């Protein structure tokens, strides 16, 4: 999601999902089935919203890349240097 939302929003999403996973696991270990189900449902809803928000944005970004070509996304000098060190091909506009 880092290419779709800003870094702080991405971190907030990741932290919230991690917290839901941890809380659901703790509820499971303590035998609080109702709480576990509640948090598991929230986790599924949060992840579904993330997917339904992110997939169209990624498709839009892919379409933009396909239409405008790689000239918009030309590699930086740092990326070219790393590619030379690793002996990888570099995309040229």
pLDDT digits (tens, 9 = 90+) for 47-80: 888 888 888 877 777 777 777 765 555 555 555 6
**Domain tally, the chain:** 1
Eight-class DSSP state of 93: -
Q: Is the pLDDT of residue 22 over 80?
A: yes
Determine how many CB atoms are found less than 10 A away from the CB of residue 42.
Answer: 16
Residue 1 within any structural domain of the chain: no
pLDDT, position 49:
87
Residue at 77 is within a domain? yes
Question: For residue 71, is it within any domain?
Answer: yes
Whole-structure pTM value: 0.59
């Amino acid at each position: 999601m880092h290419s779709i939302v800003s870094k702080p929003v991405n971190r907030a999403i990741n932290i919230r999902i991690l917290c839901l996973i941890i809380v659901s696991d703790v509820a499971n270990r303590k035998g609080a089935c109702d709480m576990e189900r509640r948090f598991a449902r929230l986790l599924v809803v949060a992840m579904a919203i993330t997917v339904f928000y992110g997939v169209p944005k990624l498709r839009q970004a892919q379409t933009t890349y396909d239409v405008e070509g790689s000239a918009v996304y030309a590699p930086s000098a740092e990326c070219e240097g790393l590619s030379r060190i690793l002996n990888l091909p570099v995309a040229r506009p």
